[in-house]
């Protein structure tokens, strides 16, 4: 299943509030301040003075399936019961006629993407390491902290937001089911994901989709966080002539025992090279093309924390070191239709 009906522990205060469209229109000043847009819809800044933390983000869903209002409400309540320090909390929703809106706590720190890829002001390695571990724990909770696992399907830096203290929180989990034209647990006709972060099994109709697709995406994000480089931007090859992708470059350097080359001006990372190398090996295991060889997110957390050892990496091949999806996936977060995958 791609969603979680109930947390293992529930309480009455967990239930989110239903707002009217008029209330949210007023709270957002007529949907005046656009925070961003993506495959799920547009997000607007707002203020609800009735809340303890009044600043909110209102996501206007672009479409919805043919759920009844009751079914939509039940589904949203399920998402609203999911609480974790590394997950953006849903505080409310609106379901009036064809309108579907979700209300989340506001994340003033912006997205991980906007914070990470700043050549002149890249975040310290110590922060990147702790943030990566937090993101891993958030995903681990989605996969193993509910009665049924939630597969996010679109882990990327844009869907990781930062609070006022720069703590990372995953957003947009559990929403795919609310928008799918068909039930997500039967087939997917429009695969959701973003170029460079999508696991290869999405494009193989004989594969079953499970939580390992999120592990792959997390591996890409982790590698980007370690190197402060976008996975889709080529880097010079070892001979200085040909360019290679980040996956291949990092894999070559780890295999050659030259990890420090990744951090020529990052003293913080070089001083913590043992942990850096451990994180790199975890990232490379996560992006293994064979999903059965990828670790679970629980194992990822344990490896990042140093609780268990990271196994020796498989022999490098072209399929291990580069993503075959860079040219087959459109720029849009919503991929072209036509693929049908059996999902349970």
Choosing from 14, 154, 181, 210, which is the catalytic residue?
Answer: 154
d(CA 279, CA 223): 8
Report which DSSP code applies to 146. B
Is 59 annotated in a binding site? The answer is no
Q: Between the CA of residue 171 and those of 76, 119, 274, what are the distances in Å?
A: 14, 25, 31
């891993």: which residue's tokens? 136
DSSP symbols for 12-56: GGGPPEE--HHHHHHHTTTTTSEEEEETTEEEEEEE-TTSSS-EE
Question: Within the chain, how many helices (H) and strands (E) appear?
Answer: 11, 12
Q: Quick count: other Cβ atoms within 10 Å of Cβ 269?
A: 24
Burial per residue of 91-102, b for 16 or more beta-carbon CB atoms within 10 angstroms, e otherwise: bbbbbeeeebbb
Answer yes or no: are the C-beta atoms of 314 and 320 closer than 8 Å.
yes
SS3 string, 81-116, reads CCCCCCECCEEEEEEECCEEEEEEECCCCCEHHHHH
Answer yes or no: are the C-beta atoms of 152 and 177 closer than 8 Å.
no
311: annotated active-site residue = no
Query: Could you tell me which residues are annotated as the binding site?
Result: 60
Annotated catalytic residues are 154
Binding residues for ATP: 60
């Amino acid at each position: 299943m791609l969603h979680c009906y109930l947390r293992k522990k529930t309480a009455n205060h967990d239930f989110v509030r239903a707002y009217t469209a008029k209330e949210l229109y007023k709270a957002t000043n007529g949907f005046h301040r656009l925070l961003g847009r993506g495959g799920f819809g547009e997000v607007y800044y707002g203020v609800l003075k009735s809340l303890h933390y009044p600043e909110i983000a209102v996501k206007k869903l672009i479409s919805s399936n043919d759920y009844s209002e009751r079914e939509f409400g039940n589904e949203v309540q399920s998402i609203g019961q999911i609480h974790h320090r590394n997950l953006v909390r849903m505080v409310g929703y609106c379901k009036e006629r064809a309108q579907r809106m979700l209300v989340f706590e506001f994340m003033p720190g912006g997205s991980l993407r906007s914070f990470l890829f700043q050549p002149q002001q890249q975040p310290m390695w110590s922060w990147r390491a702790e943030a990566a571990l937090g993101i891993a724990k958030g995903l681990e909770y989605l996969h193993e902290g509910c009665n049924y696992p939630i597969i996010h399907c679109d882990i990327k830096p844009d869907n990781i937001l930062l609070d006022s203290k720069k703590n990372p929180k995953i957003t947009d989990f559990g929403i795919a089911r609310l928008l799918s034209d068909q039930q997500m647990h039967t087939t997917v006709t429009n695969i959701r994901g973003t170029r460079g972060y999508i696991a290869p099994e999405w494009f193989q109709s004989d594969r079953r989709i499970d939580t390992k697709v999120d592990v792959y995406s997390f591996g890409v994000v982790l590698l980007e966080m370690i190197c402060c480089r976008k996975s889709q931007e080529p880097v010079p090859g070892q001979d200085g002539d040909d360019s290679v992708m980040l996956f291949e470059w990092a894999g070559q350097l780890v295999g050659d025992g030259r990890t420090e080359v990744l951090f020529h001006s990052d003293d913080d990372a070089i001083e913590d090279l043992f942990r850096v190398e451990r994180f790199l090996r975890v990232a490379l295991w996560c992006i293994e093309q064979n999903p059965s060889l990828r670790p679970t997110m629980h194992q990822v957390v344990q490896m990042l924390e140093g609780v268990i050892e990271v196994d020796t990496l498989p022999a490098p091949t072209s399929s291990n070191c580069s993503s075959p999806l860079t040219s087959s996936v459109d720029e849009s977060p919503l991929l072209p239709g036509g693929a049908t995958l059996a999902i349970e």
